[in-house]
A and B are shown apart, each in its own frame.
Chain A
């Protein structure tokens, strides 16, 4: 393993993040506050509880997930797309780095940033609603795994995209709808049976469900299902990335 190589990419990416940390944090914090005002305060007064949890508290895990998913995809896709765009990718390709090492560097950095921002959103939320975390370790597990899985997806998007439009299109077209329909603001169990079944093909449902369970011991699906599904997504994403590096798809000419 070229540990120094991994560390160099990681440090480089984190450095880029820290240079723009203000913007990186400001926007998720502001939108979280807005969500609390709209959903928590305005609607929360009508909807008393959901699954026995006060509505304001109920949406906290979903809000964190919403931010973490978006951040993971955009950070990771931008992180690898940018050197492709500027041409500096030549250096990564000609360095003695395996695909696992390159992925560890880029995805590791993107996921770290997501975890940091997720934590900040959590802290912000604590100002609005009393928080209760039943299983902190599981909470951290879901936060980290979600960041990693969606950073892997972002990495794939960043390699596939051949323009800045595409880079923004996928998050807008796929990730945002999946997150909204994944039970960020409601329990999918509330849906009519048909739509409930449809929801189950949405990977985000499992992430939010597991994450919410770690807070309130309430989930749309069982813990085991959530954990299994996260494992499946991670392996699938890694498989696609391995294929990308083996064939050189969009990386090697």
Chain B
């Protein structure tokens, strides 16, 4: 079995109006991982997904899906993909059951009522199976779209902002379902604006901005590489001025009540006891010590500037 789910080289997309939405994307997504595409509005996330799934025509570049070129060997490439687009688009007058069965048929798969039943039950749609889609709530409609995308048992699932407009509880349950999918071997590629979501879900994160991938890293490596740690010394008496301790980046907060030491997370050669000794030599004795860690959000803002 191929170890790469998606392989993209030199992907460009310039829309008809001349707008360049993708400016040279190279990306490899491994089988079985959860990959989060993170980027601000208009970064090119939906365009990138569209190009992989056959909805957007690339201006240049090559896309392989499970080793199959998505233009010359589009049948094989598309067979392995399930897509949940960003916009809710459903056939309002169809029933849930029919619309999901229809999707399976489009992919040429034989009918399998048992599988569809299981799918609808997993997505808590079973009691709505005969309901017309127009009578469902927004969150339910989104789940119908997920059911449609999974109806043909794809190896790769694209979720373009799956949790936009979904309440907290349902979001948590979707996360759990995505993880369960991963356990069955499905590769999941999701886009999100919620950094906590990427942090919570993804194995790897790609940050995209203005049509370029700014960085692609595993979540842990990203945190390590870009993340800052801070040591906060809560002082007994406020300091009037910053003490001078060579080799340490220090700052004062809260009117001199807190002394902040900032260091890079991937530097493991820092020495707190040394700093403490140097501080105590200057008669500075902390009452409490806290540590802080930058969130993915800070990193994100740092990256897209």
- Footprint of B on A, CB under 8 Å? 2-5, 7-9, 11-12, 15-16, 19, 86-88, 90-98, 248, 252-253
Contact = CB atoms under 8 A, between A and B. Distances in A.
A155 to B, nearest CB: 18
A9 B105 CA distance: 8
Interface stretch (B81-89, B243-251, B260-268, B290-298): B81-89
B93 A12 contact: no
Nearest to B16: A253
Interface string B81-123: 1010101111111100010001101111110000000000000
Closest 9 pairs (CB-CB, A-B): A8-B105, A87-B89, A96-B75, A95-B106, A2-B108, A96-B78, A94-B53, A4-B108, A252-B57
Contact of A88 (B57, B79, B90, B98): B90
B74 interface: yes
Chain B binding surface, main DSSP class: loop
A83 B79 CA distance: 21
Contacts of A86: 89-92
A86 B108 CA distance: 23
Contacts of B108: 2-5, 96
B170 interface: no
B54 interface: yes
B251 to A, nearest CB: 49
Contact of A5 (B87, B93, B94, B107): B107
A93 B54 CA distance: 6
Contacts of A87: 85, 87-89
Interface residues of B, number: 33
Contacts of B107: 2, 4-5, 95-96
Chain A binding surface, main DSSP class: helix
Contacts of B90: 86, 88
A230 B94 CA distance: 36
Given A252-B55, A252-B56, A253-B55, A90 B105 contact: no
11 contacts: A2-B108, A4-B105, A4-B107, A5-B106, A5-B108, A88-B89, A90-B83, A91-B103, A91-B106, A94-B83, A95-B106
A4 B91 CA distance: 20
Contacts of A9: 106
B301 to A, nearest CB: 30
A80 to B, nearest CB: 14
Contacts of A8: 102, 105-106
Given A4-B110, A96-B74, 14 more contacts: A5-B108, A11-B105, A12-B94, A15-B98, A87-B87, A88-B91, A90-B83, A93-B53, A94-B55, A94-B81, A96-B107, A252-B57, A253-B50, A253-B56
A253 B53 CA distance: 12
A19 B50 CA distance: 33
- Tell me which of B83, B94, B102, B105 has the highest count of chain A C-beta atoms within 10 A of its own C-beta: B105
Nearest to B110: A4
B79 A96 contact: yes
B106 to A, nearest CB: 4
Nearest to A82: B91
A78 to B, nearest CB: 14
Nearest to B98: A15
